[in-house]
Amino acid sequence: MTGKPIRVALLGCGTVGQEVVRLLREQADELAARAGAPLELAGVAVRRPHRHAGLGELLTTDASGLVARDDVDVVAEVIGGIEPARTLLLEALKAGKSVVTANKALLAEDGAALAEAADSSGADLYYEASVAGAIPLLRPLRESLAGDRITRVAGIVNGTTNFILSAMTESGSSYADALEEATRLGYAEADPSADVDGYDAASKAAILASLAFHTRVTAADVHCEGIREVTAADIAAAAGIGCVIKLLAICERTPAEDGASESVSARVHPAMIPAAHPLAAVDGAFNAVFVEAEAAGQLMFYGQGAGGAPTASAVLGDLVAVARNRLAGAAGPGSTGYAGLAIRPMAETPTQYHVSLDVADKPGVLSAVAHEFAVHDVSISTVRQDGHGDAATLVIVTHRAPDAALAATITALRGMDIVRAVTSVLRVEGLE
């Protein structure tokens, strides 16, 4: 038994939008049965209608007019970028229409404005497709774990950089060669900066941290380093200590200590992780995210993080959910910023470093280098020294220390006469 159709305005019909249209059409009967009413396309807004001839009269270039139409119940946005998406979605929410979006950039920059508009009109704002493509991750954070206290969310959320780092690890190739291969195979865009500079992962980290810690975290709050500086020597150095390098997004809750209140941090940077760590086995364009919660313990989510059909699967799941809510006259879980925790700056966030140095091989060098770590209150976990002629390679892994102290130690080492070169500096995760 199904009710009156739920009418969907689709904004954008590119890689993801085309798959949303296909699945809405091909699975119409099943979707109707699951949602409780048919999901009907009311219209599709694009920029260049001549490229979408198959959509006939559904097509429009007037996205704002489509959103405002009385016969539209739900707006699904897969245009991307900040404007006009922000204005269109605010218009929809203010008019009480439910919104489904895949737009990580907009949510990470101005998710609060969208959440407030949804809260005030009682409309739904769902965005499962914005992080980790097909992987059900946001709904588990928002709903399944609503009874628990999440302490950490960490993982691989960008397939392009994971593909490049996997290729560098497997073939020993340089960053430039691996990027060229990724571009040739369609895993990297012509302008890869959003991926390789870490911005895409930082947007996702902001969305994950906001949901996990019930605190507004924006992309600007996320410390962000990309993979351009990762060298074949770094990959070899990682292998030397039984590790691989991954670009990680890490969101953590820091307990209250020394009179300071609880805080949260979010960061994106390349890191060495032990080859036996489950994230080390996540290769190519796949994504995986670890969630740690006080009662649930560790959970791992794994799957395809991008692509038209996988991302459309998440959009369709949200469309069914908001349709069910509308039919029930209810709204799903709303805004989650009630905790309002402080954002801990990267400089104060405890991290662990792996450092490789070329030094003069003479008495006193090791103690002079160790002294520089001690001066900055950084404790050393392991040291390995390999002599070759009048030079030696020192490989040092630290214990966790505030990131600023570690960075200051590296600056001081670079200024020492006995240090000929600092050949590799990378953070390490999962060794302690």
Nearer to ligand NAP, 75 or 209 (CB): 75
Query: Which range binds ligand NAP by CB under 6 A, 47-55, 139-147, 350-358, 364-372?
Result: 47-55
Contact at 8 Å (CB) between 308 and 15?
A: yes
User: What residues contact residue 180 under an 8 Å CB cut-off, 6+ apart?
Assistant: none
The kind and range of the H/E element at 386 are: strand 380-388
Q: Is 103 in the site for ligand NAP (CB under 6 A)?
A: yes
Q: How far is the CB of 40 from ligand NAP (least distance, A)?
A: 20
Q: Which of these, 187, 138, 185, 129, lies nearest to 162 by C-alpha position?
A: 187
157-179 CB burial, b ≥16 within 10 A, e <16? bbbbbbbbbbbbbeeebebeebb
Tell me the residue number closest to ligand NAP, measured at CB: 14
Count the helices and strands in the chain (H runs, E runs).
14, 18
Q: How far is the CB of 129 from ligand NAP (least distance, A)?
A: 5
Question: CA–CA separation, 8 vs 16, rounded Å?
Answer: 15
Of these, 6, 24, 31, 45, which contacts ligand NAP (CB under 6 A)? 45
DSSP bridge partners of 350: 402
Of these, 25, 47, 414, 420, which contacts ligand NAP (CB under 6 A)? 47
Catalytic residue among 97, 104, 204, 246: 204
Query: Which range binds ligand NAP by CB under 6 A, 42-50, 173-181, 241-249, 417-425?
Result: 42-50
> What number of chain residues touch ligand NAP (CB under 6 A)?
25
Task: Mark residue 400 as left, alpha or beta (left: phi above 0; alpha: psi -120 to 50; beta: remaining).
Answer: beta
Question: CA–CA separation, 130 vs 157, rounded Å?
Answer: 11
Nearer to ligand NAP, 315 or 413 (CB): 315
Of these, 1, 48, 295, 363, which contacts ligand NAP (CB under 6 A)? 48
Q: Could you confirm whether 204 is annotated as catalytic?
A: yes
For 196, the token pair is 């390789």
Contact at 8 Å (CB) between 99 and 123?
A: yes
Of these, 4, 22, 25, 51, which contacts ligand NAP (CB under 6 A)? 51
Contact at 8 Å (CB) between 230 and 270?
A: yes
- Which residues inside 311-340 make contact with ligand NAP, applying CB under 6 A? 311
Q: Considering only CA atoms, give the Rg of the chain.
A: 24
Q: Residues 53-92: x/- map of binding to ligand NAP (CB under 6 A)?
A: ----------x--------------xxx---x--------
Contact at 8 Å (CB) between 145 and 137?
A: no
- Which residues inside 342-401 make contact with ligand NAP, applying CB under 6 A? none
Nearer to ligand NAP, 53 or 328 (CB): 53
Say which amino acid occupies 188. A
Question: CA–CA separation, 59 vs 42, rounded Å?
Answer: 9
Q: Is 102 in the site for ligand NAP (CB under 6 A)?
A: yes
Q: Is 23 in the site for ligand NAP (CB under 6 A)?
A: no
Nearer to ligand NAP, 196 or 431 (CB): 196
Nearer to ligand NAP, 296 or 309 (CB): 309
Say which amino acid occupies 104. K
- Which residues inside 118-177 make contact with ligand NAP, applying CB under 6 A? 129, 133
Question: CA–CA separation, 395 vs 424, rounded Å?
Answer: 9
Q: How far is the CB of 83 from ligand NAP (least distance, A)?
A: 8
Q: Residue length, the chain?
A: 432
Q: How far is the CB of 309 from ligand NAP (least distance, A)?
A: 9
In the complex, the residues that contact ligand NAP under the rule CB under 6 A are: 11-17, 45-48, 51, 63, 78-80, 84, 102-104, 129, 133, 306-307, 311
So which residues are the catalytic ones? 204
